[in-house]
Amino acid sequence: MTQKAVVLLSGGLDSATTLAVAKANGHQLYGITFDYGQRHIWELEAAKKIAKTVGLEQHIIYKLDLSCFGGSALTDRQIPVPQITEEKLNTNLADQGIPPTYVPARNTIFLSIALGWAEVLGAFHIYLGANAIDYSGYPDCRPEFIQAFENLASLATKAGVEGRQFRIHTPLIHMTKKEIIQKGLALGVDFRLTHSCYSPDEQGVACGRCASCQIRLRGFQEANLQDPIEYQFRPSSSK
């Protein structure tokens, strides 16, 4: 019998690749995208297009407001989105501390809601595109957090205490951006549909300057590929 999986789908390159991995693993797919008060809607539009292309059993856009708390450059317009220097980009980003784009407890909240839905669905697999390598001082993208959440899931739910084991799959957690892009391409991900930029213009065109754009562009460059999306600015070093 096909096993159901809930996949967290942000609309970015990582979650699109994660969805493709879940599909390749033969799961029946349930996608959840969070409309949490992020600065722009382009991520959500990207998630919808990706979900439609891949073909899910169900895709829900789940609305909750994390912007009411503030505390992050992604939900609070008072906090600037960081740019990143070429020099910084070439060092180990995970060693540079937690960036202002960290959203307090975001993955804990998202995984908790996904867990609630998963339990109702009878889905014991949850996929998350967390990555501990590129630009990830984010604590809630680290393997020890994922492990702790998996432990919690067994204690938190009726299914768990009745002996079912929830698995939190993070197939990209130890990959570089280059490796994620290569994996995605191998699985047929259409990267034209994905959105990564923190500060797109009014038409949703990526800035090419924010940390997220730069890491993405460098990933394509290292994979010796052209990023198929449009940019307002494309560094001369990238293709």
Contact letters for a copy of itself, residues 82-101 (x by CB under 8 A): ----------------x---
Residue 119 contacts a copy of itself per CB under 8 A: yes
Give the H/E segment covering residue 34. Answer: strand 28-35
Residue 80 contacts a copy of itself per CB under 8 A: no
Q: Give yes or no for a contact between 114 and 23, defined as CB atoms under 8 angstroms apart.
A: no
Please report how close the Cβ of residue 78 comes to a copy of itself at its closest, in angstroms: 13
Q: Which range touches a copy of itself (CB under 8 A), out of 18-26, 81-89, 141-149, 216-224?
A: 141-149
Residue 66 contacts a copy of itself per CB under 8 A: yes
Residue 129 contacts a copy of itself per CB under 8 A: no
Residue 158 contacts a copy of itself per CB under 8 A: yes
Instruction: Pick the closest to residue 173 from 131, 112, 224 (CA basis).
Output: 131
Instruction: Pick the closest to residue 216 from 224, 208, 139 (CA basis).
Output: 208
Please report how close the Cβ of residue 53 comes to a copy of itself at its closest, in angstroms: 24
Contact letters for a copy of itself, residues 165-184 (x by CB under 8 A): --------------------
Number of residues lying near a copy of itself (CB under 8 A): 43
**Which residue has 């809930």 as its token pair?**
6
Give me 109's structure tokens.
Answer: 């909240």
Q: Residue 31: helix, strand or coil by DSSP?
A: strand
Give me 84's structure tokens.
Answer: 């990143």
Please tell me the distance from the alpha carbon of residue 181 to that of residue 173, in angstroms, as a whole number: 13
Q: Give yes or no for a contact between 128 and 122, defined as CB atoms under 8 angstroms apart.
A: no
Give the residues lining the site for a copy of itself (CB under 8 A): 60, 62-66, 68-71, 98, 102-109, 111-113, 115-117, 119-120, 139-140, 142, 144-145, 148-149, 151-153, 155-158, 160-161
